[in-house]
Structure 1
Amino acid sequence: MTIILVAMGGFFGSILRFHISIKANKHLIGTWIANSLGSILLGFLFHLHMENQLADWTWMLLGVGFCGAFTTFSTFGNETLQLILNRKYRQAFTYILSSLLVSFFFVYMIIVFLSDEF
C-alpha cells in the first residue's frame, strides 16, 4: 500500500511541477518556486509527522510522494550548470544561494515556531 501512496502523491506532485514550469515559460523561477514551496510544505508535514499529528499514510502520500516529485534537484542542477556554462556566474550564484537560503530558512522557522519548546 505504501508504494501506491507514494506513486499517487508523486503523480500529482510531478503534474503540478510541470504546470508551474509551463506557466513560468520553463524559466528558472519555476524551479525556484516549486523547490521553495515544496520545502515549506515538507517542513510543515515533517513537523506534523514527527509530532504524531499526521498519519503515516498521509506522510507517504504528501511528504514522500507529492513533495518528492514536486521539488526537483535534478532540474535545479541542470539549470545551474547551464548558467555556469553560459558564463552567467552571478545569476548562477544568486540562484544557488537564494534557493538554499529560502528553503532552509522557512523549514527552520517552521520547526522552531511549531515546536513545543518555543
Structure 2
Amino acid sequence: MTAIYDVYVGVGAAAGSLIRYHVGRWISRISESSFPWGTWFINVVGSCFLGLVFKDFWWHQHDTMWWLLLGTGLCGGFTTFSTMSYETMHLMRTNRWMAAAYLASSLGLGCFFIWVILRV
C-alpha cells in the first residue's frame, strides 16, 4: 500500500516543481531587480495554498491520498526552502538589509497568510 502513497506524493511533487519552474521563469522575465521575487512569490503563494488545503481537510473528511497529492506533493514541490536559503546567503554578500527583508517577509507573510486563512 505504501507504493501508491509514493506515487501520489511523486505526481504532486512533479507537478509542483514544474509549476514552480515556469512561474519562476515568468517572474524573472518581468522583474529586473536583484531581489529574488520569483522565489519570494512562489513561497508566499505556496504557503497560502497549503493553508487552504489544510483548512479544507480540517473541516471535511477527505481520502488521505488527496493530502499526499496536494499538501505533501504539490505544495512541497512548488515551494522551495533550499532556494530561499541559497538566495538569502547570496544577498548577504551584496546587501544584508535586502537579505534580512527577503527572509523576514518570506517567512512572516507565509505564516501570516496561513494564520488568516485558518481564522476566516
- Give the TM-score of the pair, scaled to structure 2: 0.87
Corresponding residue number in structure 1 for 2:73: 65
Corresponding residue number in structure 2 for 1:30: 38
On the 8 A contact 1:40/1:107 being kept in 2, the answer is yes
Corresponding residue number in structure 1 for 2:97: 90
Matches of residues 36-55 of structure 1 in structure 2 within 5 Å? Answer: 36-55=44-63
Report how far residue 92 of structure 1 moved: 0.6
Number of paired residues? 112
List runs of 5+ in structure 2 lacking aligned partners. 30-34
1:38 is matched by which residue type in structure 2? G
- The counterpart of 2:106, out of the listed 76, 81, 99, is 99
- The counterpart of 1:108, out of the listed 103, 106, 115, is 115
- Structure 1 position 16 matched with structure 2 position 40: no
Identity score, percent? 36
1:110 is matched by which residue type in structure 2? I
Aligned counterparts of 1:94 and 1:38: Cα–Cα separation in 2: 19
SS at match of 2:60: coil
SS at match of 1:25: helix
Q: For the aligned residues, what is the CA RMSD?
A: 1.4
Q: Deviations over 1:73-95 (max 9, x none)?
A: 00000000000022x01111111
On the 8 A contact 1:49/1:56 being kept in 2, the answer is no
List runs of 5+ in structure 1 lacking aligned partners. 114-118
On the 8 A contact 1:80/1:92 being kept in 2, the answer is yes
Aligned counterparts of 2:36 and 2:62: Cα–Cα separation in 1: 33
Runs of 4+ in 1 over 3 A off after TM superposition: none
Aligned counterparts of 1:93 and 1:78: Cα–Cα separation in 2: 13
Corresponding residue number in structure 1 for 2:32: none
On the 8 A contact 2:8/2:68 being kept in 1, the answer is yes
